[in-house]
Amino acid sequence: MTKKGLAVIIAAGAVFCMAGAASAATFTAANGVLSIELPNESWTEITDPTRWIALSDGGNLITVDHYSNGEKLPEIQVADAHYVNVYETAFSTQNEVFLITGCVVDAAKIPEVRTAVMSAQILQYDTKLAVQADTAGDITIAPMSGTMYAASSGINVRSGYSTNDQIIGTLSSGTAVTVTGKVQKGGADLGWYQISYNSGTGYVAAQFLASAQPAAVTPTPAPTATPSAERKYTGVTKTIYDSDGDAVTVSEATDGNWYDANGKLYYWVTDYQFTSSDGSQYSTNKPQTGSANEPLGGEIYVFWGNSNQESLTLYSDGYYYSSSGVRYSSNGDGTYSGADGTTLYNYDPVSAAQADNAESDSDDTYNLVSEGSGRPATIVAGGGAFYDENGVTYYNQGDGSFVDEYGDTYWIQ
């Protein structure tokens, strides 16, 4: 594993035990293998098929992944525009690795999530067995004859009895297989079954096969549109676009879904993607049609509400775009509104908030001239930034220059 960014803590081969707050709640895995001191009772286990264990308080997240020795470990997760901090700790033996990750959305929760991650304790090791190479020649297949079932979906069938062997297929939940043997070394089970697969032989880890077929899972029905006469709205609306660039205005309802003026149902899939009830895809970013939308200038650097930086580039359609493709428009007051509902700032909002608590010096005035066009501007200090007579915001670069909210550079005359 390699370090991919800041705000990540790695500790391997050691157990950390830190006392939680008085309101902490102890989580113990159902199989008794691991425990974590959670910050409070609002944290509960949630269903996430991609994780061994997932815990959340509705926003912040703690996950546990479990790997056999020899399995490829993932790259370390890093903080991004969504998570302000990520904390990760790892515990390992010669046979297995436990990876505990805390992802923090609310900066105020950083200390308690960090403490929870570091409080993880492994109560039982060797829950997965590492398969050793058959160097001594004592690997045997104890004959069996019976039917077993895939305990979940996406179970790998391999060419051999090791996670290093080639994957030759997968099993979906409930799939019946004929078991022909149990892999043993020196008479001890190694945790693998030999099965008949595609007119040949395959191997499946024993923990993923069950003697009884798992109960069928009834899918949760998709929400249906309620009659408009009964529907209540929150007052929040968004403009979304189909693949042709045609706009649709949708309104958020109290049932958590979105509807257009005709009552058609829409689901908010991601920050800027929607899917309608008929399966059509929509985006809050309007597709470009006709002539190409080209960047007009260099990047400008703005801030998220937590002081993390982002870069925006002005394009020929008059909008700014982030590195992830989200469209932003300037509000003329030092803020930028994104098509996904987010707001970026041309100044560090944390520092600005602190400056707002102090009286600004109204005599702090500068006469400037634009580096590019030669346009003059007179600016006056106020609220952590500077403003001209048109309300355009300027930011002091500390070297005799200022940058306005459009990214243009000015120098003191």
Q: How many CA atoms lie within 13 A of 133 on its CB side?
A: 3
pLDDT above 70 coverage of the chain, percent? 75
What's residue 70's pLDDT?
Answer: 62
Measuring CA to CA, how many Å separate 203 from each of 128, 177, 196, 212, 293? 16, 11, 9, 19, 53
Whether residue 6 is predicted with pLDDT greater than 60 in this model: the reply is no
Whether residue 406 is predicted with pLDDT greater than 70 in this model: the reply is yes
Tokens 């490829």 — which residue? Answer: 72
Q: Which positions ≥6 away from 152 have C-beta within 8 Å?
A: 49, 173, 208, 214
Specify the DSSP element, H or E, that contains 353. helix 349-356
Whether residue 332 is predicted with pLDDT greater than 80 in this model: the reply is no
Question: Which token pair is 352?
Answer: 């600005």
- How far is 348 from 12, CA to CA, in rounded Å? 36
Per-residue confidence band for 10, with pLDDT thresholds at 50, 70 and 90: very low
What's residue 69's pLDDT?
Answer: 61
pLDDT above 90 coverage of the chain, percent? 9
Give 191's DSSP letter.
Answer: E
Tokens 């010669």 — which residue? Answer: 94
Q: pTM for the complete prediction?
A: 0.32
Per-residue confidence band for 381, with pLDDT thresholds at 50, 70 and 90: confident
The mean predicted confidence, pLDDT, of the chain is 75
Tokens 């370090």 — which residue? Answer: 3
- How far is 162 from 169, CA to CA, in rounded Å? 14
Amino acid at 10: I
- How far is 189 from 192, CA to CA, in rounded Å? 8
A 10 A CB-CB count for 156 gives 17
Better-predicted residue by pLDDT, 8 or 101: 101
Question: Which token pair is 119?
Answer: 């409080």
What's residue 135's pLDDT?
Answer: 37
What's residue 181's pLDDT?
Answer: 93
Beta strands 96-104 and 85-92 are: antiparallel
Per-residue confidence band for 336, with pLDDT thresholds at 50, 70 and 90: confident
- How far is 403 from 232, CA to CA, in rounded Å? 45
What's residue 127's pLDDT?
Answer: 67
Q: Are 105 and 60 in contact (CB under 8 A)?
A: yes
Better-predicted residue by pLDDT, 113 or 314: 113
Amino acid at 74: P
Length of the chain: 413
What's residue 202's pLDDT?
Answer: 94
Q: What is the pLDDT of residues 261-301, one digit of tens each?
A: 888 888 876 656 788 888 787 877 776 555 566 777 667 88
Per-residue confidence band for 100, with pLDDT thresholds at 50, 70 and 90: very high
A 10 A CB-CB count for 14 gives 9
Q: Are 36 and 116 in contact (CB under 8 A)?
A: yes
